[in-house]
Amino acid sequence: MIELKNVCKTYETGNKAIRNINLNIRDGEFVFIVGKSGSGKSTLFKLLTRELKATSGEIIVNGCDLNKIKRRNIPKYRRTLGVVFQDFRLLYDRNVFENVAFAQRVIGASGSEIKRNVPEMLKLTGLGAKYKSYPNHLSGGEQQRVAIARALINHPQVLLADEPTGNLDSYNTHEIMRLLETVNSMGTTVIVITHSKEMVSEMKKRVITMDKGLIVSDEYPEKKPVSVMPVMGNSRSRGKSRRRPENTDDRI
Ligand SMILES: Nc1ncnc2c1ncn2[C@@H]1O[C@H](COP(=O)(O)OP(=O)(O)OP(=O)(O)O)[C@@H](O)[C@H]1O
Ligand SMILES: [Mg+2]
């Protein structure tokens, strides 16, 4: 569970990037964060990774209060997250296998665990045949899949991605989104910042829109229409019964 209560972030320049955000994201949700350039999306992302500290308010991620967390515990907190960036941030002098294995070594996994886990993750991300390739010999979509494999290898509870498809064509964007959906269906909470309107409308997930440091809308995908029993009587009563599914909405 991710909870933000009255969160504000003002940069040292005086720039109020996040002005008052209240937000709950439940375990296992898939959430898009959209909004104009400069609306505060990456700032929110950095607050969640604890790269930045909120100026005021409370951010609690899986029970961890990010304003109170001790500096020495931040790496441990970050290991509960998988993080993916627009520019991949791979190790260009290491092959695909080593890029993913590196994240396992950091947490002290044994050689045999790495030999078992990395090929499994490469298979899930569609990179099984590319394990020996170096990032420079991969397409943008493949590089992003390596970044996602690396982010997922330690089974994070939450996957955070800041414009993971910003540098990709529409075919690769589609492939990455499908991969994120698969990861989500396996139980990981997925939070994706994107500018891709096409993907947002196609994926039918919760969409949080930011503007000038505020959340200006938080929309859930439309439910499939509930079949409405044939209604007898005048048009007024018909109107009322048609509205009911919306009124008894169980969204949070
Ligand atoms: N390090 C910084 N110091 C001061 N101001 C900053 C800093 N980083 C971002 N800002 C400002 O904070 C505001 C929000 O920036 P942020 O990077 O969060 O926007 P964004 O929604 O991610 O935009 P984009 O879609 O262009 O990536 C902007 O006005 C930006 O200029
Ligand atoms: Mg940004």
**163/196 Cα distance (integer angstroms):** 9
List domains and CATH numbers for the chain: 1-80+159-224 (3.40.50.300), 86-155 (no CATH)
Whether 141 is in the pocket of ligand 1, judged by its Cβ within 6 Å, is no
Give residue 82 CA to ligand 2 midpoint distance, Å: 17
Between CA 58 and CA 78 the distance in angstroms is: 17
Q: Whole-angstrom Cα distance, residue 159 to residue 171?
A: 22
Which residues make Cβ contacts (< 8 Å) with residue 64, sequence separation at least 6?
77, 80
pLDDT score of 50: 97
Which pLDDT score, from 0 to 100, does residue 225 have?
62
Ligand 1 near 125 CB (within 6 A): no
How far is Cα 127 from Cα 96, in angstroms, rounded to an integer? Answer: 8
Residue 5 Cα to ligand 1 middle (Å): 21
d(Cα 84, Cα 163) in Å, to the nearest integer? 8
Separation of 130 CA from ligand 2 center, angstroms? 30
User: Does ligand 1 lie within 6 Å of residue 39's CB atom?
Assistant: yes
Ligand 1 and 166: CB distance under 6 A: no
Give 71-104 as a 3 state SS string: HHHHHHHHCCEEEEECCCCCCCCCCHHHHHHHHH
Is the four-CA dihedral 25, 31, 36, 37 of positive or negative sign? Answer: positive
37 lines ligand 1 (CB under 6 A): yes
Average pLDDT value over all residues in the chain: 89
Q: What is the pLDDT of residue 224?
A: 63
Distance 55 CA to ligand 1 centre (A): 15
| Cβ < 5 A residues, ion ligand 2 | 42
pLDDT tens digits for 174-218?
Answer: 999 999 999 999 999 999 999 988 889 999 999 999 999 999 999
Query: Does the beta carbon of 51 sit less than 6 angstroms from any atom of ligand 1?
Result: no
**What single-letter amino acid sits at 178?**
R
Please report, in tens digits, the pLDDT of each residue of the chain (252 residues total).
999 999 999 999 999 999 999 999 999 999 999 999 999 999 999 999 999 999 999 999 999 999 999 999 999 999 999 999 999 999 999 999 999 999 999 999 999 999 999 999 999 999 999 999 999 999 999 999 999 999 999 999 999 999 999 988 888 899 999 999 999 999 999 999 999 888 899 999 999 999 999 999 999 987 666 666 655 544 444 433 333 334 333 333
> Which is it for strands 158-162 and 81-85: parallel, antiparallel or unpaired?
parallel
Q: Is the Cβ atom of 52 under 6 angstroms away from ligand 1? A: no
Biggest CA pair distance of the chain: 74
User: What global pTM score does this model have?
Assistant: 0.87
Question: Residue 213 CA: which ligand 1 atom is closest?
Answer: 14
